[in-house]
Structure 1
């Protein structure tokens, strides 16, 4: 697709995109992902949303968040809440839907095209509201898994649905390229991420979200 000059913003549901790519058997290369959409138009902003466990001294996803902060992404985080349910099971609550929706509506008047990386059906109403404001909305997820990672109502509402599997060769990490990867999360020491190296979220255990 040629550069059309349209004003584009990316809204990435971090946990959802991580799970979708993992289900398809590849890891996202966020440097390539940013470049892919910079080539499609005038990229105004790329938002990345994720929750972090409250009071945890070190999160395994922190190297990725730090890299994104340094390299062109607007990272939005909030603390999760841990609790034990009635059956004694540990649960983590940390939904970023409201933050994403508020930012999208605030940006809508300055955009022509929003690309939403999520399959969450809760975003159907947001997509409809953005369309009423004249914004074209593309949704990226997948239907190639069983069950599909995208809710049917969200797919139907979108102006365009793009299956992530069709972008794998353009935004996926080369499995043979390990030169700038951090060690697996369980073995990581607490160390800063330099702006030149890209952590691989496939090697980072993202905290659970509901």
Structure 2
């Protein structure tokens, strides 16, 4: 009986592109509530993305208010596979509030994006348009953006290679 000496050539096995997911949790929460009256379905989103891509990193940026319900939600995100990054909610003396993650998301997307085939951003914030252009031009890393259509900045939609409007398949 002849024994085959051929080894499996793994270079011909197609691998999925490597992506990083970056979620502006507050933005997605409020835009989904305002646009659809529903919450975003992170489990459905993860299943959707993992069919096409190898998820290398996934970050969910949220505000910490010490609320039990929010802590439970953040634990659900962790169980799905997200690294949850928290920033304290700051109430100013004048009554205004502060609590956004734009700079943190930007730093992480640049640092992680260099090693990815694609980035996926969940936000409608037009401030990220410049960042996506930078990733595309400097590192040749395209971006997909998921957002509520009417509440996503046109500049952000145009800076993405693909814009995906959140629909019923991604809502609870």
Paired residues, number: 157
Map 1:130-149 onto structure 2 (within 5 A). 130-132=135-137, 133-143=139-149, 148-149=150-151
Shift of the 172–125 alpha-carbon distance from structure 1 to 2, 3 Å rule, reads: same
Return the match for 2:63 from 45, 51, 62.
51
Partners of 1:31 and 1:155 in 2: CA distance: 24
Partners of 2:42 and 2:144 in 1: CA distance: 18
Q: Is the 8 A contact 1:10 1:116 kept in 2?
A: yes
Return the match for 1:32 from 44, 51, 55.
44
Task: State the partner residue of 1:21.
Answer: 32
SS at match of 1:84: coil
Task: State the partner residue of 2:166.
Answer: 164
Normalising by structure 2, we get a TM-score of 0.84
Structure with the largest fraction of helix: 2
Task: State the partner residue of 1:178.
Answer: none
Q: Is the 8 A contact 2:20 2:113 kept in 1?
A: no
SS at match of 1:122: helix
Partners of 1:30 and 1:152 in 2: CA distance: 24
Task: State the partner residue of 1:119.
Answer: 124
Q: Which has the higher contact order (CA 8 A, sep 6+)?
A: 1
Question: 2:12 matched to 1:12?
Answer: no
Aligned Cα root-mean-square deviation (Å):
1.7
Q: Is the 8 A contact 1:52 1:59 kept in 2?
A: no
Residue 4 (structure 1) shift: 6.5
1:74-133 CA-to-partner distances (Å, cap 9, x unmatched) read: 111111211132xxxx22201101111111111112111111101101111111111121
Q: Is the 8 A contact 1:108 1:135 kept in 2?
A: yes
- 5+ residue gaps, structure 2, are 1-13
Normalising by structure 1, we get a TM-score of 0.69
Residue 20 (structure 1) shift: 2.1
Return the match for 1:82 from 71, 80, 91.
91
Question: 4+ residue stretches of structure 1 with deviation over 3 A?
Answer: none
SS at match of 2:114: helix
